[in-house]
């Protein structure tokens, strides 16, 4: 969700929890964000983030990753 703030524009990336005639709620990584629909500039569905990779282990004789 891209929306207006005092200093310009910002994005809320996450899951759309709901909306009504005045506001929508997006669950981001850090919090649920309520965004007035009048402030929304653009919205689109994006794919979920890829699964996290497991930490790699160094092989014999190799130094650990930096």
| Phi, psi (deg, nearest 5) at residue 40 | -75, 130
Predicted pLDDT at 31 = 96
Question: Which residues is 4 bridged to in the sheet?
Answer: 9
Predicted pLDDT at 57 = 65
Look at the chain and report how many structural domains it folds into: 1
Rounded CA separation 33/3 (Å): 12
- Domain hosting 25: range is 2-42
pLDDT tens profile 40-61: 999 998 888 788 888 766 666 6
| Phi, psi (deg, nearest 5) at residue 47 | -70, 155
Question: Which residues is 66 bridged to in the sheet?
Answer: none
Domain assignment present for 35: yes
pLDDT tens profile 16-49: 999 999 999 999 999 999 999 999 999 998 888 7
* Cβ count near 28 (within 10 Å): 13
Domain assignment present for 63: no
């Amino acid at each position: 969700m891209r929306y207006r703030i005092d200093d310009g524009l910002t994005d809320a990336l996450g899951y759309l929890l709901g909306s009504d005639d005045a506001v929508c709620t997006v669950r981001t990584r850090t919090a649920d964000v309520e965004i007035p629909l009048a402030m929304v500039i653009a919205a689109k569905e994006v794919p979920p983030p890829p699964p996290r990779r497991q930490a790699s282990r160094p092989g014999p004789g190799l130094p650990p990753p930096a």
